[in-house]
Amino acid sequence: MQYVMKGGNPLVGDVVIGGAKNAALGILAAAVMADGPVIIENLPDVKDINALIGAIAAIGARIERLDRHRVKIDPSTINTVKVTGDAVKKIRGSYYLIGSLVGRFGKAEVELPGGCNIGSRPIDQHLKGFKALGINTEVARGMVIAQSNRITGGHIYFDMVSVGATINIMLAATLADGITTIENAAKEPHVVDVANMLNSMGANIKGAGTDVIRVKGVKALHGTTYSIIPDQIEAGTFMMAAAVTKGDIMVKNVIPKHLEAITSKLLEMGCQVSEFDDAVRVVGRPKLTHTHVKTLPYPGFPTDMQPQITVALALAGGTSIVTESIFENRFKYVDELTKMGASIKVEGNVAIIDGVESFSGADVTAPDLRAGAALVLAGLSADEHTVVDDIEYILRGYERFDEKLRGLGAVISMVDNERDIMKFKLEVI
Ligand code: EPZ
């Protein structure tokens, strides 16, 4: 599938942000640990989330879709701890079922996680954490097999800050005997959201949002109703869209505090940013100012916003440097952006960007989720038509992306064949 678009319109208006995909993955996994039904609200309707819900249904949980953004999960009917299938292999978040299933049932067999190809993505820290809790793990035939007769609290010091490992160990420690201390924990908003959700089921987790998390094991978890926080990265993508298209966007239903690293870069680039209780307004400017960016764990600048800010800086006056310090292979989209006229040189994990006046439309391919979204932003600012191919990646994490962009004045359409691309190009001149 492709997005075809005609760039040039400044994006103007309001956009409403959905629930955080990466929080939702942890929260869905947590739901399988409850003794009673769990209702999850503000769930994004995106492919990765629907794949994980499918995996939870496949192990026997009863799933009821209350509406597009609410689901009821009754885990009392789970009849296996073996999680397999194509959908599971493709997503990253399936690894949270290792922590939650072994935590609740003492055993889990989960297909090795996939996810975006943005560099090697080992799970050694997850396995090291499980070991500290008395959980044995083995990787065989593409499956992670985790097992324990008695999960006990332990002390874990992560070698690097890992969102996934922090959430996974929190899940596994929730029903353990005794207290678990996680040091050098990830502080991302979605880590806090998963902890809050577990606490609403009766868990005893303190310190989430700092780099030391303490989990006091409890005997059981009960059902709950929980609403997921807004998606920091979806919000950031639309904020950056205002900068890239010289627009004026009110990004609604956000937690401005979670966006501060992005806001501060937009200000350095000369945009106007106004914060409200649950919204931020970004006004672009005719010529952006160059700046330097280094991706870091929260509260640093998020790696998941690196491609989008690179697109903006590629249109800024002067030279900018973007350093990717989380994933080693997250500049693959730069070749595609070069086809649109960007002047960027990548050396290792550093991109040196010489700003150009404008992009020209081209046929490009999304290499992963966030880079795909970034190429769409580039296309919306470009002269002429742009086709972004392989948008399946984008659909994994952005709900109704094209519809939301059209609401801001973008001329963009989702298509799945050459004929429709031709038709769009002939109709939209
Ligand atoms: C999560 O990935 C997100 N995915 C990613 O979002 C996000 O880019 C990333 O966190 C960083 O914020 C999900 O939540 C499903 P990490 P995760 O463990 O958990 C290394 C998106 O676009 N590491 O925080 O896989 C790792 O290689 C996606 O929505 C180990 O070496 O990231 C990386 O360099 C893409 N061993 C660093 O740590 C481990 O055991 C951070 O990874 C675990 C991680």
Q: Tell me: the pLDDT tens digits for 239-259?
A: 999 999 999 999 999 999 999
Residue whose Cα lies nearest atom 43 of ligand 1: it is 123
Give the pLDDT confidence score for residue 429 in this predicted structure.
82
2-18+230-427 with 21-227: one CATH topology? Answer: yes
| From 47, 49, 162, mutation site for ligand 1 pocket: most ligand atoms within 8 A of C-beta | 162
Give the three-class secondary structure for 413: strand
* pLDDT tier, 91 (very low <50, low <70, confident <90, very high otherwise): confident
| Strand locations in 42-147 (E) | 62-67, 70-74, 82-83, 107-111, 136-140, 143-147
> Taking a C-beta distance cutoff of 8 angstroms, is the pair 290, 320 a contact?
yes
User: What percentage of the chain exceeds 70 in pLDDT?
Assistant: 99
- CATH architecture for the domain at 21-227: Alpha-beta prism (3.65)
Backbone angles phi, psi at 202, to 5 degrees: 105, 5
- How far apart, in whole angstroms, are the C-alpha atoms of residue 84 and residue 186? 28
What is the model's pLDDT at position 118?
67
**Residues contacting ligand 1 via CB (< 6 Å):** 22, 25, 92-93, 116, 121-126, 160, 162-165, 186, 303-304, 326-327, 369-370, 397
Q: Tens digits of per-residue pLDDT, 350-389?
A: 999 999 999 999 999 999 999 999 999 999 999 999 999 9
Report the mean per-residue pLDDT for the chain: 96
Helices (H) and strands (E) in the chain, counts: 15, 24
Residues 6+ apart with CB under 8 A from 134: 148, 150, 151, 152, 154
Listed by start position, the domains of the chain span 2-18+230-427, 21-227
* Strand, helix or coil for residue 31: helix
* Pocket perturbation via mutation, ligand 1, pick of 21, 22, 228 by most ligand atoms within 8 A of CB: 22
User: What percentage of the chain carries pLDDT values higher than 90?
Assistant: 93
Fold of 2-18+230-427: UDP-n-acetylglucosamine1-carboxyvinyl-transferase; Chain (3.65.10)
Please name the amino acid found at residue 201: M
Note whether 175 and 153 are within 8 A (CB). Answer: no
What's the rounded Cα separation, in Å, for the pair 347 and 356? 19
Q: Determine the 3-state secondary structure of 314 from DSSP.
A: coil
Q: What is the pLDDT of residues 135-164, one digit of tens each?
A: 999 998 889 999 999 999 999 999 999 999
37, 173, 137, 145: which is closest to 84 by C-alpha? 145
Residues serving a catalytic function are 116
